Structure 1
Amino acid sequence: MRVGLLTAFIAVAWLGQQVQVALAQTRPSVSPSEPAKVSAPKESPPRKEAGVAVSPYTAGLVTGPPQSTEFAIAQDIATTLASGQETGPRGEVALRVLPMVGNGGIRNIRDVLTLAGADMAIAPFVLVDRLRETRTIADIQNKLVYITPLFVEEFHLLAPSEIRSLADLEGKRVNLGEEVSAAAVLGREVLNRLEVKISELNLGLDAALDGMRKGEIFASLLVSGKPVNLLARYAQADGIHLLPIPYSKALQQDYLPSTFRREDYPNIVGSGESVDTIAIKCALFAYNWPTRSERFQLLEFFVETLFSRFPEFLGDAHHPKWREVNLHEVLPGWRRFGPAERWLQRQSGGEAALRKAFGRFLEQKRTSNPPDREELFQDFMRWRERKQGW
Structure 2
Amino acid sequence: MNRFFVGSLLLLLNLIVWTPAMAADANAQPVGMVTGSKTGTYIQFGNNIAEIAKTVGLDILVKDSRGSIDNIRRMNSKENAALGIVQSDVLGFLSRSESSEMRQLAGRLRLIFPFYNEEVHLFANKSIQSFGDLQGKRVVVGEEGSGNWLTAINLLQLTGVKPGELLQIAPLPGVTAVLKGEADAMFYVAGKPVSLFTK
CA–CA distance in 1 between the matches of 2:61 and 2:195? Answer: 22
Show CA shifts across 1:203-240 (max 9, x none).
01122122112211011111122223333x33xxxxxx
CA–CA distance in 2 between the matches of 1:145 and 1:118? Answer: 13
Question: Where do 1:1-390 residues align within 5 Å?
Answer: 56-82=28-54, 84=55, 94-134=57-97, 135-137=100-102, 139-140=104-105, 142-198=107-163, 199-231=165-197, 233-234=198-199
CA–CA distance in 1 between the matches of 2:83 and 2:105? Answer: 14
Partner SS, residue 76 of structure 2: helix
CA–CA distance in 2 between the matches of 1:101 and 1:205? Answer: 15
Unaligned runs of 5+ in 1: 1-47, 86-93, 235-390
Going from structure 1 to structure 2, the CA distance change for 1:167 and 1:130 (only over 3 Å counts) comes to closer
- TM-score normalised according to structure 1 size: 0.41
Show CA shifts across 1:12-55 (max 9, x none).
xxxxxxxxxxxxxxxxxxxxxxxxxxxxxxxxxxxx99xx9698
What is the CA distance between 1:72 and its match in structure 2? 2.1
Partner SS, residue 210 of structure 1: helix
What is the CA distance between 1:128 and its match in structure 2? 1.2
CA–CA distance in 1 between the matches of 2:184 and 2:28? Answer: 48
Answer 1 or 2: higher relative contact order, Cα 8 Å, separation at least 6. Answer: 2
**Count of equivalent residues:** 175
Say which is worse superposed, 157-166 or 119-128, in terms of deviation: 157-166
Going from structure 1 to structure 2, the CA distance change for 1:81 and 1:54 (only over 3 Å counts) comes to closer
CA–CA distance in 1 between the matches of 2:83 and 2:28? Answer: 15
CA–CA distance in 2 between the matches of 1:151 and 1:97? Answer: 21
Going from structure 1 to structure 2, the CA distance change for 1:206 and 1:142 (only over 3 Å counts) comes to closer
C-alpha contact (below 8 Å) 2:94/2:106 kept by paired residues: no
CA–CA distance in 2 between the matches of 1:67 and 1:156? Answer: 18
Q: What residue is the counterpart of 1:238 in the other structure?
A: none
- TM-score normalised according to structure 2 size: 0.76
C-alpha contact (below 8 Å) 1:175/1:203 kept by paired residues: yes
What is the CA distance between 1:115 and its match in structure 2? 3.4
CA–CA distance in 2 between the matches of 1:177 and 1:106? Answer: 12
CA–CA distance in 2 between the matches of 1:230 and 1:65? Answer: 13
Going from structure 1 to structure 2, the CA distance change for 1:173 and 1:148 (only over 3 Å counts) comes to same
CA–CA distance in 2 between the matches of 1:56 and 1:155? Answer: 39
C-alpha contact (below 8 Å) 1:105/1:182 kept by paired residues: yes
C-alpha contact (below 8 Å) 2:95/2:107 kept by paired residues: no
Unaligned runs of 5+ in 2: 1-19
Structure whose CA Rg is larger: 1
Partner SS, residue 178 of structure 1: coil
Q: Runs of at least 4 residues of structure 1 off by over 6 A? A: 52-55
Say which is worse superposed, 162-171 or 200-209, in terms of deviation: 162-171
- Bigger proportion of residues as helix: 1
CA–CA distance in 2 between the matches of 1:169 and 1:141? Answer: 31
